[in-house]
Amino acid sequence: MQGRLSAWLVKHGLIHRSLGFDYQGIETLQIKPEDWHSIAVILYVYGYNYLRSQCAYDVAPGGLLASVYHLTRIEYGVDQPEEVCIKVFAPRGNPRIPSAFWVWKGVDFQERESYDMLGISYDNHPRLKRILMPESWIGWPLRKDYIAPNFYEIQDAH
């Protein structure tokens, strides 16, 4: 089933894939990494001026990684703002997605956390570095195939 935004994107020749609706009735779309920056700008101009949240997850061990953006279209005098969920999938071997920072500045720390936990590189992010883990940390702790270091061995070595 195609939602309102998906129909608008089709009408304007913008490539995407409809993933249907979530349990709250929010339309969910998949955008390819190479199309994400231009579609993000278009969505902002179209009125999706508020980024509610950004997160990321590991789809399956050895599989794709996903960066998820929850956008809201806030207009004066509208009681029920439109919302959309955008998913951008990236290959595990080289997970690169254009940063949404230059469209929605509030995504700064959220993309950094996704980088820190899953290793997704956000191209053109102004300060892409670890935010939760120490800079010396090796690996991406929220990947399903991550093997945690044995902290007892590390403590015994000191």
Kindly state the average pLDDT of the residues 16-36: 96
Q: What are the pLDDT digits (tens) for 40-95?
A: 999 999 999 999 999 999 999 999 999 999 999 988 877 889 999 999 999 999 99
**Cα-flanking dihedrals φ and ψ of residue 33, to 5°?**
-55, -40
Rg (CA), the chain: 18
Grouping H, G, I as helix, E, B as strand and the rest as coil, residue 109 is helix
Residue 100 to residue 137: CA distance in whole angstroms: 25
Grouping H, G, I as helix, E, B as strand and the rest as coil, residue 123 is strand
Its pTM stands at 0.91
- pLDDT exceeds cutoff 70 at 156: no
Q: What are the pLDDT digits (tens) for 7-25?
A: 999 999 999 999 999 999 9
Q: What is the pLDDT of residue 76?
A: 81
Under 8 Å between Cβ of 101 and 107: yes
Q: What are the pLDDT digits (tens) for 100-150?
A: 999 999 999 999 999 999 999 999 999 999 999 999 999 999 999 998 877
- pLDDT exceeds cutoff 60 at 154: no
- pLDDT exceeds cutoff 80 at 151: no
Residue 141 to residue 154: CA distance in whole angstroms: 17
| Residue tagged 């995504």 (tokens) | 107
Under 8 Å between Cβ of 100 and 54: yes
Residue 85 to residue 103: CA distance in whole angstroms: 16
**Topology of the domain covering 2-152:** Beta Polymerase; domain 2 (3.30.460)
